[in-house]
Amino acid sequence: MTDLKPCPFCGGKAEFARKQVKTKGHWCDAVYVRCTNCDARSNRVLYSAKYHKKNDSEYLEAQEAWNRRADNDKAD
């Protein structure tokens, strides 16, 4: 995995977070990125740890969501 970019709002350090969430009546695991300073968060990536193979794809998806910026597609 590559590094997480700083928070787009305050410039704070970003880190991965995991927790269990209940969605549509079922418990599942969620991975997201959050700012340690202002608590801004990326979208949650939902998966089932019980059935999900350990391959870090959920972390990569959360990282891509966090590192995406509005000016990523602009040409220099």
Q: Mind listing the pLDDT tens digit for each residue in 33-46? A: 999 999 999 999 99
As a whole number, the mean pLDDT across the chain is: 88
Cα dihedral 45→59→33→64 (10° resolution): -90
Q: Which amino acid is at 76?
A: D
Please tell me the predicted confidence (pLDDT) of residue 59: 92
Please tell me the predicted confidence (pLDDT) of residue 44: 93
The answer to whether 11 touches 34, Cβ cutoff 8 Å, is: no
- Provide the 3-class DSSP secondary structure of residue 20: strand
Q: Which pLDDT band holds residue 26 (cuts at 50, 70, 90)?
A: confident
What mean pLDDT comes out for the span 63-76?
Answer: 81
